[in-house]
Structure 1
Amino acid sequence: MSHSEVKGPVYYQEDGFLKLNAFIKEVNPSKIFFLVDNNTHRDCLAIFLKKLESPENVEILEIEAGEINKNLETCTGLWNALSELDADRKSLMINIGGGVVTDLGGFVASTFKRGIRYINVPTSLLAMVDASVGGKTGVDLGNLKNQIGVINHAEMVIIDPAFLGTLPQTEMRSGLAEILKHALISSETYWNKVTNLSELTLDDLDEIIKESVEIKAKVVTEDPEEHGLRKTLNYGHTLGHAIESYFLTHSEKTTLLHGEAIAVGMILATYLSKELQDFPEDKLKEITVKILDIYDRVVFSEEDIQQIIDLMKYDKKNSHGNINFVLLKDIGNPVIDCKVPNQLIWNAFEYYKKA
């Protein structure tokens, strides 16, 4: 896949920093704004600034880390800061962080003065393989994930797995869920490769990240506006997002990381695939075992399940009041826009409890 096909090309390691410095020389932005959160300010910014050839005319904007801050209030704060710091149409924004920073930073840049250029530097595994590619930007509206946003591509995405050295294990696992999803919708070979984790070294990770990004980039290039194929990237997300939102907004619940919620969503979706698409039962068992090996089991009460089902109707993928699922006929063979009766969703949770 050549870079020219993909809007917002993706570059790796040193190549990325060379491209970035060349881009800055060529475009000559009036000012460069770095958006970081408190974690990436501490762990990543200094590493990044060392790679920059001309770090003058630079401003640093910091937000609080965490999904809970991915909202319009944070955006308003940033729009005000940009105005006060004399940002203009020729300014450049560089987002250094996980999915919250890249999603929100992309949205702030895309809407400030009707759009300034931005670059994403994802520092979490999740953002590398998911949030940074495809031009989806946005924020949450209350407990509804990514309700407000636009599709607008970064000038480039720079992926440097060196940043992963600063990530806690739980965050690595969270990112792995998106890699597992890419595998389930694309190929059994890739699924087998990414689930043999006992042998995963950082070098393997480089290769797996590249492969995962390519799977996503290929889908997004063919269907940028999500009319068909791009919907397959929502595998496990219809229920997964509802589970994540539910746990995020109920203070008595332990908040789940995105990947932890999506892991549950993928088991539920695979069970539904067996019921509605004749997905092979032995593979359902294998997927369930492999996912539960990596992620802790989440406990759901009847009331939790009811509220999660209610939340699904706000999912952006729905139309005309129907909840649309992506299901699998087999690994690597997804089917979009599947209608699922509520009773089957209850059965899927029952299956998950007993698995």
Structure 2
Amino acid sequence: MEELLLKKEGIEFKSSLKGTFEALPKDALFVVDSVVLTKWPELMSSICQRPYMVMEAREDLKTLAMVEKVYEFLFQHHETGPVVAVGGGILGDVVGFAAATFKRGIPFILVPTTLLAMCDSTLGGKVGVNYKGVKNYVGTFYKPQKSILCQTFLKTLPAKQLRSGLGELLKYGLLKKDDLLEGLFHEKSLVEMDFAPYILKGLQLKASVVQEDFRDLYKRNMLNFGHNVGHALEGAFPMVYAHGEAVALGLYYELLLSEWTFGLEKDLREKLVKLLHKFDFPTTIPLGQEEVILGYIRKDKKNDEKLRFTLLRAWGVPEIKIEVQEEELRKALSWVME
């Protein structure tokens, strides 16, 4: 049943780069992250057969100006085939938004090259860019035709980028009570880990939620767990935390709020702390910056005039749109991790 969910979402797993590119349509156009070509120059033999563009993909460049560059490329070369984004989540968001709006929508395919993109943005259909410093403020819902995942790309990722993806996997492990978290305790290190079973578990959970609430009107809000605080940390301190590192810290603080709101047992937070230490996640936030973080949370697109969070009533039992008072949030942010 769960495998069928992923098939319905167009998720494919390939064991080699050769197999990945052989699975793409012959009339595809390519937009490729410049870092990917630097690390995998052999990809050029697959890509150069068709029109392609190379882009630098950074969070500070994830703007409408970047989308316009993709429009120009599509205007010159697009006929009927899909546009393929080969890169991480930033490139996928930008190319997806361009595909959604160019000619009122053309097909696009994702070939994610980071762990974060593989276990998160590759599924769900959210595409968009940042606007006036607010993350993903301009966007829409537009599903890729398919997403092709190949673990080979992960071999060149630094530990910080692997942690960024692992932060999202930790979220899935808290939202569903299964053996995902326990499995991570038995892993020796990030670089030796086989991520495929964890990616599969995470995507199966996400697919079940997205197919029930594609437009993020209610149930899909559960996937925001850890992200109110996480996005604020990422926005306030972009040079300090990768996305998943910020989310992992967000999980910690939002578990604290869950304990105070629902009486959640603290052993779940303690389990998370052990995993954060095991994989060398950042475990502190800059001192005295609570008001800065609060400011980012206030203007988060997920909130109205009140602060609303996804919290856990129990392990695997999320509650969405829970109002949190600013004083409680300040108290949580001042908490020092054990």
TM-score of the alignment, normalized to the shorter chain, above 0.5: yes
Structure 1 residues 152-203: Cα deviation after superposition (integer angstroms, max 9, x where no partner) = 1000000000110121111011110000001000114222123433277867
Question: 2:283·2:337 contact (CA, 8 Å) conserved in 1?
Answer: no
Q: RMSD of the TM alignment (CA)?
A: 2.4
- SS of match in other structure, 1:297: coil
5+ unaligned residues in a row in structure 1: which ranges?
Answer: 249-253
- Distance in 2 separating the partners of 1:331 and 1:45: 44
- Distance in 2 separating the partners of 1:354 and 1:124: 28
- SS of match in other structure, 1:137: strand
Task: Count residues with an aligned counterpart.
Answer: 336
State yes or no: 1:120 paired with 2:110: yes
- SS of match in other structure, 1:299: coil
Runs of 4+ deviating beyond 6 Å: 15-20
Q: Could you tell me how far 1:212 is from its partner in structure 2?
A: 1.5
* 1:105/1:208 CA distance change after superposition, 3 Å: same
Q: Could you tell me how far 1:138 is from its partner in structure 2?
A: 0.9
State yes or no: 1:301 paired with 2:287: yes
Give the partner amino acid of 1:34.
F
Q: Could you tell me how far 1:296 is from its partner in structure 2?
A: 2.1
- Distance in 2 separating the partners of 1:138 and 1:230: 17
Match for 1:46 among 42, 45, 52? 42
Structure 1 residues 312-338: Cα deviation after superposition (integer angstroms, max 9, x where no partner) = 12222223x222101011221111111
State yes or no: 1:109 paired with 2:105: no
Correspondence for 2:266: 281
- Distance in 1 separating the partners of 2:176 and 2:208: 11
Correspondence for 1:59: 51
Matches within 5 A, 1:112-151: 112-151=102-141
TM-score normalised per structure 1: 0.87
- Distance in 2 separating the partners of 1:35 and 1:237: 28
Correspondence for 1:13: 14
Structure 1 residues 222-253: Cα deviation after superposition (integer angstroms, max 9, x where no partner) = 211112221111110011001101113xxxxx
- Distance in 2 separating the partners of 1:65 and 1:235: 26
Structure 1 residues 291-317: Cα deviation after superposition (integer angstroms, max 9, x where no partner) = 244312333232x21021111122222
State yes or no: 1:235 paired with 2:219: no
Match for 2:174 among 166, 181, 184? 184
Question: 1:17·1:158 contact (CA, 8 Å) conserved in 2?
Answer: no
Give the partner amino acid of 1:155.
Q
State yes or no: 1:157 paired with 2:157: no
* 1:292/1:15 CA distance change after superposition, 3 Å: closer
Correspondence for 1:342: 326
Give the partner amino acid of 1:65.
A
State yes or no: 1:86 paired with 2:99: no
Question: 2:14·2:149 contact (CA, 8 Å) conserved in 1?
Answer: yes
* 1:15/1:218 CA distance change after superposition, 3 Å: farther
State yes or no: 1:76 paired with 2:68: yes
* 1:343/1:8 CA distance change after superposition, 3 Å: same
Q: Could you tell me how far 1:87 is from its partner in structure 2?
A: 2.0
TM-score normalised per structure 2: 0.91
Question: 1:324·1:339 contact (CA, 8 Å) conserved in 2?
Answer: yes
- Distance in 1 separating the partners of 2:152 and 2:174: 27
Correspondence for 1:251: none
Correspondence for 1:226: 216
* 1:199/1:72 CA distance change after superposition, 3 Å: closer
